[in-house]
Structures are given as C-alpha cells and as structure tokens.
Amino acid sequence: MTSTLFDRVSADVRRQMPALFLFSFLANLLLLASSIYMLQVFDRVLSSGSLDTLVWLTVITLAAIAVYGLLEQARRRLLARIGAWLDTELSAPVIRRAIERRLTRGPASTTAPDAGLSDVADVRGFVGGESVLAFLDAPWTPVFIAIIWLIHPVLGGIALGGAVVLFLCAVFNDRLTRGPQQSAATRVRQAAAAAGRYVDSAETVAALGMTRPLLDRWRRAHQEAHGQSLAVSDTTAGLFNISRSVRLALQVAILGTGAWLVLQGAVTAGAMIASSIILSRALSPVERSISAWRGYVSYRAARRNLAALFEGTDRDAAAAVSLPRPEGRLTAEAVRFTPPGSAEPILRKIDFALTPGQTCGVVGPSGSGKSTLCRLIVGAWRPTHGHIRLDGADVGRWDSDDLGRHLGYLPQQVELFPGTVADNIARMCDADDAEIIAAAQLADVHEMILRLPDGYATDVGVHGARLSGGQRQRIGLARALFGDPALIVLDEPNSNLDADGDRALLRTLEHLKETGRTIVLVAHHPAMLRSADVVLVLREGLVAAFGPRDEVLKAALGRRAGARPAPVAAAASPVHPKAAE
C-alpha cells in the first residue's frame, strides 16, 4: 500500500521517539535523587554526624537536579520543535488536499466536516505540548512502585493500590468523555463557522432584518455546544479532583504506615520519607494523564481526520507528466452529476463536442444545470459518471495547477482575494506588469482600473468588498483571460454589468473569437450569443438541443410561436439563477 504524506510525516515523528524515551528515562531516574538524598541524610548523616558526607551528598544531589533540569528542557524543546515541524509540513498540504476533496465531492457535505488547519493545530498542540509528557512519564510509574516495594512490600502494596485507583479514574474519564468531547468540539466548530458566514453576509443580513433571528438561532446553537463542552469539563474536573484527593490520602497512608513500620523496626525513618517522595513521583503521571486526556481525545480525532483526508489523494505532482498546451478541443461524454447526499442528479446525460476556436452558448431555464456544467468543464467539480475531456485528457485527472494555466473561468459569484487588483488579475502569482495589463486590456477594463484610487495597486479588501459588483465581475474577466488560456468558460459574465460593461464584454468576445479561443458562454439574453457558433440548450439536466446557433434559436422561437413572447435563452427567468444551478 502506497504511503501518504501524512504517513511519512508520522513516521518521521516516530523516529524521534527513541530520543524522547531516553530523555524521559534519564529525567525520571534523576527524579530519585531527592529521595535518595533524604534516605541518606536520615539514615547516614544524622546517625554519623559526618559534615563531609552531608556536603558531598548535597553537591551530588544538586548536580543531579541540574542535569535533570537540562534533560527536561531538552525534551520540551524537542517536543516543541516536532510540533512546529509538523505544522510546517502539514498545513499547506492539508489546504491542498481539502481543495482536492472539495473538487471530488462537489458541493460541501453538511455532515462530517473535513479535516483542516484546526486538526493540524490539535495534533501540534498535543505532540508539542504538556499533555504528551504525562504519557511519556507514565511507563516509569511501575518502576517507582517496584522501588517502593523493595523498601517494604506493605508500602509497595499501598502504592500499587493507589495507582490502580487512579488508573480506573483515567479509564472512567475516557469512557464518560470521549464521545461527548468529540461531539462538543464538532458543534463548537460549526457554531464558529456559522458566525463567520453571518458576518460575511452582513449586508444581506442587515438589509433583510435577519440579524436578531440569526443571532437567536446562533446563540441557541452556541449555548448547546458550550453546554455540552462544559459538561465534559465538569466530568473531567470531577475525576481529576477525585484523583488528587486519592493521591493526598495515599501520601498520608504511606507516611502513617511507614511510621508504624519504623516503630516496628521494619524500615528506617529515611526509608519512610523516601517512600513518600517516590510515591508522589509514581502517581504524578497517572494523575496528569487524566487532565491531559481531553487533549489526547482531540489529537486522536484529528489524526483520524487527517489520515482520511490524505488517503487516496496523495499525488506526487513532481512525478506527474506535464501535458502540452491544449488546442481547445472540448468533449463531454455521457456526463452525469449527482450532488453528495442527494438521490436526484442535476445533470443526467450530457454529450457534446467543440472544436478548437468554437464559441458555444449555453442556455436554459434556472435550475437546468448550466452552472454545474461550467464547474465540471473547468474541473472544479468532477462528474459522478462520464468524462469531460480537453484535447482528450480528462480534466478531473489533470493536475489543477497545470490545467489552470490553460483555462479561463469566470463564475457567477466572482470571488476576489485579499491583495491588489494586479495580484488578483495575475491569479496571485508573480507576473510581469505587461502580462497583467495585456489581460486587462483584452477584457477592456484597463481604463476602469486606472480610475481606481491606486490603479492596479488598489487593495480590493476581503472578498473584493471595496469594489462594486460590476467592477469585481470585470476584474474577474481579466483574471480569466490572464495567461492567454486555450479554453475560456464564462458563467453569465454580464449579470452585474451596465450598458458600457455589456458593450465591452461583446468586444472582448469578438476579439477572443478572432484569436481562435474555445469559449463556453452561459447567457440569458440573446444579444450575448452574437458571437456564438453553436448553442447548447439544457432543460432538466438533459441536452434539449445542440447545434448551429441560428438553427437552434430558430427552432426555439418556432416552438414558442403560439406562446407568450419570451427571450429565447429563457425558458430562463430573468432573476439571477441560484449558485447551485
């Protein structure tokens, strides 16, 4: 079975474990120094009155404590660096795999959330934090109990019984909190994501008077999520306090029993004190593991999410064959698309073919699948069945970074990213100014950009909020044309344009046709089809007609001859179609 990047990173982390176990062994061994010091002071120094023995015992013990401090610092620094390295190695690939999974699944599922940076943070927080130290120290608990047993079996029995009680507390903590903790964490994430969506849609929320009902809905979800999280915290805190009380009671028990054994002459006073100190060392990791268990549960869930995210999607881009620039030959072969979680397909059986340089107009009523077809053509989604091919290559299997250089895509909802106008036109790559300006001029937006406050250096803000809808759409068109792509897909490119913008778009389409670019154009108005060679009519997810523009439009007009006049492109409503179309 081929290992994924996550498997390889996990294997590299495991290779650091021997060093951590060695440091933990030495550190826990040196923790015995204070116990041995007490034993020697009570049993040797006080009985002999030797000042030299006391001085050298003190010097040796202080040296051991100093070495212990260095070892403790070393393992904490090593864990911190492993955590930071994990974050560096996984963060960017996780984002990439999340994008690939979205492309595979199509619309996001409302169930089980995908792994993301929060899972990387959970893994880093556990591996590089305090929690993992409790688990590294826990294997030495039997060693400490064995030493107490060697001092006297009765004291060893008390220590063993206390360790069993604390271990049972840890087991109960796992049983009682594992499921609720995972559920609470998921609900907290969902509430936070919902709040972010409300803020992003602030204009719509405020304009429609939805602020109060949305906040009420969010508050209920938030309170339920945090109420569940609080219940888990209460359970963990209760068991932790029980374990602490048990440990304190054991300290009293071992001192009392030790004193009785001293009176019986079975052990020395030094052994009694040493046993008490060693017991606290033995039980400390078990007690700490109870409070660390919550982090471990999150870590385990995060590992599971990340392993699932990388499974089957770990592709070595460096090993992939880079295909030549396509000519623009586009074919759809029995394409069918059903959204995840839905039994009803959006597209049922789509077949058509475009030769290089053809312009295809796509028309049909709202909900007929036009936007879905656009997403499938550019590889943003992948067909449930069938293939979309560009020059014979399946666009779903083409490396997205390589394919993107040959595609231009303008979706209905234009998303601009934080940065300047030039950054967005250049697709956030380092590009020559001449290439950026050439794309803007081809889209006929150069003059508009120059009128912006800082021209091409104008910061568009989050989601392009500093620009109007029409400006975002025209800049999105320039981005689609950047790099002279062979295939250009425009999904209602004039939905936010005014009359000047429409005229500029028509000029751009004519120029693209002259240069031999293959264009797929979704339009609701016949005027936009002026440059189209062929027209594809979609209705209820099926190809209702496909052929030369004039023949298809004439046939469509003929069918409506006795009906109320309507634009040919619309069996479509003039209302802006849904994004899920």
Residue 565 DSSP code: -
337 or 138, which is more confident: 337
For the segment 286-326, what is each residue's pLDDT rounded down to a tens digit? 777 776 777 787 788 888 888 888 876 544 444 456 778 88
Q: Which domains does the chain have, with CATH numbers?
A: 5-310 (1.20.1560.10), 330-559 (3.40.50.300)
Average confidence score pLDDT of the chain = 81
* pLDDT of 154: 92
* pLDDT of 490: 92
* pLDDT of 191: 77
pLDDT band per the 50, 70, 90 thresholds, residue 60: very high
Asked if pLDDT for residue 106 goes beyond 60, the answer is: no
pLDDT band per the 50, 70, 90 thresholds, residue 127: confident
Distance between CA atoms of residues 323 and 342, nearest Å: 35
- Largest distance between two CA atoms of the chain: 121
Query: Region 433-444: what's the mean pLDDT?
Result: 91
Residue 318 DSSP code: G
Q: Which of 91-100, 110-119, 513-522 has the highest mean pLDDT?
A: 513-522
Asked if pLDDT for residue 353 goes beyond 90, the answer is: yes
* pLDDT of 115: 58
* pLDDT of 354: 92
Query: Region 46-63: what's the mean pLDDT?
Result: 86
485 or 184, which is more confident: 485
For the segment 84-102, what is each residue's pLDDT rounded down to a tens digit? 898 888 888 888 787 777 6
* pLDDT of 264: 87
* pLDDT of 332: 92
169 or 67, which is more confident: 67
pLDDT band per the 50, 70, 90 thresholds, residue 103: low
* pLDDT of 235: 79
For the segment 189-201, what is each residue's pLDDT rounded down to a tens digit? 777 777 777 776 6
Asked if pLDDT for residue 410 goes beyond 50, the answer is: yes
Asked if pLDDT for residue 574 goes beyond 80, the answer is: no
What pTM was estimated for this model as a whole? 0.66
Distance between CA atoms of residues 335 and 386, nearest Å: 4
Mean pLDDT lowest among 153-162, 233-242, 386-395, 527-536: 233-242
Asked if pLDDT for residue 352 goes beyond 80, the answer is: yes
Q: Which residues contact 419 (CB under 8 A, 6 or more apart)?
A: 428, 459, 460
The per-residue b/e assignment along 469-481, b for 16 or more CB within 10 angstroms, e otherwise, is: ebbbbbbbbbbbb
Residue 187 near residue 224 (C-beta atoms within 8 A): yes
* pLDDT of 268: 85
* pLDDT of 340: 77
Phi then psi for 537, rounded to 5 degrees?
A: -105, 120
Residues of the chain above pLDDT 70, percent: 88
pLDDT band per the 50, 70, 90 thresholds, residue 172: confident
* pLDDT of 243: 77
> Nearest CA to 19 among 31, 29, 27?
27
Residues of the chain above pLDDT 90, percent: 15
Distance between CA atoms of residues 485 and 391, nearest Å: 14
Distance between CA atoms of residues 572 and 363, nearest Å: 8
3-state secondary structure 162-189: HHHHHHHHHHHHHHHHHHHHHHHHHHHH
DSSP H helices in 201-337: 202-207, 211-264, 269-310
* pLDDT of 316: 44
Question: CA gyration radius for the chain?
Answer: 34
* pLDDT of 565: 43
Half-sphere exposure of 354 (CA within 13 A, CB side): 32
Query: Region 488-510: what's the mean pLDDT?
Result: 86
pLDDT band per the 50, 70, 90 thresholds, residue 530: confident
- What are the C-alpha distances in Å from 323 to residues 278, 375, 405, 507? 67, 21, 11, 32
Number of CB atoms found within 10 A of residue 241's CB: 11
Asked if pLDDT for residue 512 goes beyond 60, the answer is: yes
* pLDDT of 464: 65
Asked if pLDDT for residue 509 goes beyond 60, the answer is: yes
